[in-house]
Amino acid sequence: MARKRSLIIPGVDKQLLVRDAAKAMPDLTRRRFITGGASLGALTLLTGCDVVDSFSAEEMLKQVSKFNDAVQAAMFNPNALAPTFPESMITKPFPFNAYYDLDEAPTVDGKTWKLEVRGLVENKKSWTLDELYALPQIKQVTRHICVEGWSAIGSWTGTPLRDFLKLVGADTRAKYVWFQCADKDGYNSPLDMMTALHPQTQMTFKFADEILPRAYGFPMKIRVPTKLGFKNPKYVISMEVTNDYKGGFWEDQGYNSFSGS
Amino acid sequence: MSSLTVSNEQATSAASGKAKAIQPAWVRILHWVNAFAMVLMIMSGWQIYNASPLFAFTFSKSITLGGWLGGALLWHFAAMWILMVNGLIYLALGFATGRFRKKLLPITPEGVISDTRAALTGKLSHDDLTKYNSVQKLLYAGVIVVGVLVVLSGLAIWKPVQLQWLTALFGGYPIARYVHFFCMAAIVAFMLVHVALALIVPKSLRAMIIGR
């Protein structure tokens, strides 16, 4: 009884308390959580911390996102293959998707383009498209899942990234392979080494058996069926094997960095 | 207690012996933590939905959380831990203490029909808050099942490769998205009814806050 009594605050009108509590959830959430999208001070409710400005709450969400990176890395099974589909299930037309319109997509000259290979690799030579085309390729029909929620099944053909990493003598104990792209404003994205070595992670040169069209990332895309779409960089111009977390175009804006499927 | 208006039934039950809480403390705590996490999940979920709507409507920004897709995802994937851990504790205690069996069962069609009729004609008794009527039993048991489904379908669309067996169980990734959406819709519908009825019978709300 005593324990129960202590929950009642002396001097507070209980009827009013109850009435206020009734209104509390929707109103509080509305007032505290939404305005402008950034006033995230609401976690004071939970923690009792003195979170006055939105920055701290954002900082906390970032920490949880890092924790989620670790959880997803632990969940990642290097032998689990993404489901594959018959060619009859390929989505037609396959959507073009970027943070710009198609007419702003990079136009890369395949004759002069070279893939720059940097970082913790034995052979830092740059690769021409013809040299890359000469590598053994395999075809995969998998589901591309966008961070926005939509998905589409496509057919991608190319060289397993892990074969290429072996070929250039990459230090596969390094943490990341970091890709830079020719997109306007400079797209880039880090890929954790575990995923880079996954058998389905691919340096892609063809879509639906045709040379990769400009819309889908000519001359080279990194197809990662175990990641969300934004972790599948297009128009790749360089890869760097590194232990440093160099951030990424979307990752820096708040998308979860691991973003595994 | 004396300063509150107490119904005769409660007074007699209190007099007959040790006054027992209508809602034990663990139920109350888990209930409000769940309510908090659910509201965060739903509002951030609406913002995520807006990035690629399944239907010909989007949710007004005034009722979403996160400001944009990236912000909403951060909220969604943070609040999910509160929802999941809290929900697992609730399920474990609900089974272990026998609360589910004692409070939510049995649910009979006859009971649901007669109690629905009584409710709609204003004849449903709320004198004994320790006993749920058949409509309450059905809705509470139902929303627990939907709560489990919303978490499972959420996991299915979060991890369609690592948990592909689960995604397949829901009929594949695109269908799992719809399942996740309709579970949300069912929970929101439940919440509207639940909150409205709690306000109509304020002593039930009081019981969920202070236990009596």
| CB-CB under 8 Å, A7 with B161 | no
pLDDT of residue B129: 84
Residues of A in contact with B36 (CB under 8 A): 25, 45-46
Using CA coordinates, name the residue in chain B closest to A226.
B161
Rounded distance between C-alpha atoms, residue A160 and residue A239, angstroms: 14
Average pLDDT over residues A102-114: 94
Average pLDDT over residues A56-60: 87
Which of A18, A38, A77 has its CB closest to that of B209? A18
Rounded distance between C-alpha atoms, residue B203 and residue B200, angstroms: 9
Cβ pair B43, A29 in contact under 8 A: yes
More confident residue, A254 or A47: A254
Average pLDDT over residues A225-248: 97
DSSP A187: -
Average pLDDT over residues A31-60: 50
More confident residue, B87 or B114: B87
| CB-CB under 8 Å, A37 with B67 | yes
Q: Tens digits of per-residue pLDDT, A132-189?
A: 999 999 999 999 999 999 999 999 999 999 999 999 999 999 999 999 999 988 999 9
**Nearest-CA distance from B58 to chain A in Å?**
14
The total number of residues shown for chain B amounts to 212
Using CA coordinates, name the residue in chain B closest to A143.
B173
Rounded distance between C-alpha atoms, residue A149 and residue A73, angstroms: 21
Q: Where are the domains of chain B?
A: 3-210
Q: Kindly report the backbone phi and psi dihedral angles of residue A178, in degrees, each rounded to the nearest multiple of 5, phi listed first.
A: -110, 125
**Nearest-CA distance from B64 to chain A in Å?**
6
Q: Write down the mean pLDDT value for chain A.
A: 86
| CB-CB under 8 Å, B210 with A4 | yes
Average pLDDT over residues B165-191: 98
Residues of A in contact with B4 (CB under 8 A): 14-15
pLDDT of residue A50: 46
DSSP A28-73: HHIIIIIGGGT--GGGHHHH-----SHHHHHHHHHHHHHHHHHHHH
In this structure, the number of other CB atoms found within 10 A of the CB of residue A123 comes to 10
pLDDT of residue A200: 98
Q: Kindly report the backbone phi and psi dihedral angles of residue A179, in degrees, each rounded to the nearest multiple of 5, phi listed first.
A: -105, 140
Average pLDDT over residues B133-143: 93
Quote the tokens at residue A96: 């073009």
The rounded radius of gyration (Å) of the Cα atoms in chain A is 24
For the domain covering B3-210, report its CATH number: 1.20.950.20
> Maximum CA pair distance of chain A?
83
Residues of B in contact with A147 (CB under 8 A): 51, 69, 73
Residue type, B83: L
Which of B160, B199, B212 has its CB closest to that of A22? B199
Residues of A in contact with B77 (CB under 8 A): 64-65, 68, 256
Residues of B in contact with A260 (CB under 8 A): 159, 161-162
pLDDT of residue B11: 44
